[in-house]
Structure 1
Amino acid sequence: MRKLDQRGMAAFEFCLVAVPLFTLMFAIFDLGRYAITMQSLRTLANAGARTWMINDCYVNNVMTKSSPTCSGDPLPSAAAKKAVAPMLGGLSPTLNTTSGASALTVTASLPSFNMLMPIWGTALNAPSASTTIPF
């Protein structure tokens, strides 16, 4: 019986293993990036809500039992946002405030964030987090 030629088998086996290995590594890296971004946005929304609670907009209105009418960005400067959420890097998050019938909601969003791996689609692009302050 004749012996088969084994040249190139190691390269072929490496290709079979490398594709799923690198796909898994980049997927884990991408999900970690998303988790850090979501945590930073939650921290930023909490800091914005805390700023509204400390400011006259919220405290005086709640003490007089009237609905607070806070609007706009509680942390208007980019430096203040960077100090609260430094892990966002060069990305610029937005903070919005909405007043409802019984709560004040501060929402932090990052519309410029995109996932690197195309396997996620667009479901995880532009993450946002919000904090609600009841009154």
Structure 2
Amino acid sequence: MRKLDQRGIGAMEFCLVAAPLFILMFAIFDLGRYAITMQSLRTLANAGARTWMINDCYVHSVMKKASPTCAGDPLPSLAEKKAVAPMIGGLSPTLSTTTGGSVVTVTASVNFSMLMPIWGTTLNSPSASTTIPF
């Protein structure tokens, strides 16, 4: 019986195992980045809501049992946002407030791009919001 040539089998096995391994590794890295960004957005939304509540227009409006009239970004500068949520990195998050019914909603959002194309565009615009009753 003739023995088969076994040269190159190790390299072929490495190629078969390496592709799924690297895809899994980069997918975990990508989801980790997304989780950190979401946590930073939650922190930013909470800090924006707190700043908005401490602001005079909210306190005086609630004491008068009227709808708050504050509008705009509670943390207007990028430096203030980075001080609250430093894990955002080089991204520029936005804060917005909406008043509806008897609640005020502060929403933090950012344009985020995933490294792996397998996610599509589903996770490219994360946002977190905090609701304040009055």
If the length of structure 1 is used for normalisation, what is the TM-score?
Answer: 0.98
Work out the CA distance in 1 between the residues paired with 2:53 and 2:75. 13
- Counterpart in 2 of 1:47? 47
Unmatched runs of 5 consecutive residues or more in structure 2: none
Q: Secondary structure at the match of 1:52?
A: helix
**What is the Cα deviation at residue 117 of structure 1?**
0.5
4+ residue runs over 2 A deviation: none
Letter of the aligned partner of 1:79 in structure 2?
Answer: A
Report the CA distance between 1:60 and its aligned residue: 0.7
Written as runs of structure 1 = structure 2, the 5 A alignment for 1:73-84 is 73-84=73-84
RMSD (Å), alpha carbons = 0.6
Matched, 1:116 2:101: no
Q: For residues 69 and 114 of structure 1, what CA distance do their matches in structure 2 show?
A: 35
How much does 1:107 deviate?
A: 0.4
CA deviation profile, 1:97-134 (whole Å, cap 9, x unmatched): 111111000000002x1111011111000111100001
Structure 1 SS opposite 2:101: coil
For the Cα contact (< 8 Å) 1:95–1:106, is it kept in 2?
A: yes
Q: Identity across aligned pairs (percent)?
A: 83
1:17, distance to aligned residue in structure 2 (A) = 0.3
What is the CA deviation profile of residues 12-62 of structure 1, one whole-angstrom value per residue up to 9, with x for unaligned ones? 000000000000000000000000000000000000000011011211101
Query: Structure 1 residue 90: deviation in Å?
Result: 1.3
- List aligned pairs for 1:1-135, cutoff 5 A: 1-111=1-111, 113-135=112-134
* Unmatched tracts of structure 1, length 5 or more: none
- Give the superposition deviation at 1:70: 1.8
Contact 1:45/1:95 (CA < 8 Å) preserved in 2? Answer: yes
